[in-house]
Amino acid sequence: MTKFTVNDRPVQYRMDPDTPLLWALRDASNLTGAKYGCGTGDCGACTVEVDGEAVRSCQISIAEAEGRFVTTIEALSPDRSNPVQQAWIASNLPQCGFCQPGMIMAASILLRKTSNPSDAEINAAITNICRCGTYPRIRDAVKLAGRIMRGEELVSGAPAPGIAPADAARAVPSLRVP
């Protein structure tokens, strides 16, 4: 049994220890924000935070996650008030939207480290592939999120999601507190 923390909840997976973290999150925990894109760690659609770092969840096994803290996009904010989510919505950034959860996770991790990143820092931290090619808008949204974080700019709030995290957890056995 593999044990670690997902979105501030202790979890135990009775799965093969070599199972990629992505599949444990999606299949066992019903946390479907991280997407399967390439399976080789190149596209970044599966990006999650592991102990404060952006990690391609298709490239780390649940055994490698043992004892660690994993955060998925579902936990950034229950009401979409995270500055990165606000900036993405205010910028009307997503087109197809497939890469957005991974981009948002990479951006939020970057902005926790530096709230005023340069274009070069953004390019280095967010190596995710966007099929729609919205890279200039992504850089602009990251900079907007930084300004929001620094209190230099306000944007109108995004609508809250249709389900509370506690309600979602009740529907998913692996997210229940042991």
pLDDT digits (tens, 9 = 90+) for 140-151: 999 999 999 999
**What are the pLDDT digits (tens) for 72-99?**
999 998 777 899 999 998 888 888 888 9
Exposed e or buried b per residue across 111-120, where buried means at least 16 C-beta atoms within 10 angstroms of its C-beta: beeebebeee
- Residue 32 has a CB neighbour count (10 Å cut-off) of 14
Q: Say what the pTM is.
A: 0.87
| Contact (CB, 8 A) for 21 and 70 | yes
Q: What does the DSSP 8-state code read for residue 20?
A: B
β-bridge pairing 47-50 and 9-13: unpaired
Q: Examine the pLDDT at 178 and tell me if it is beyond 80.
A: no
For residue 46, pLDDT beyond 80: yes
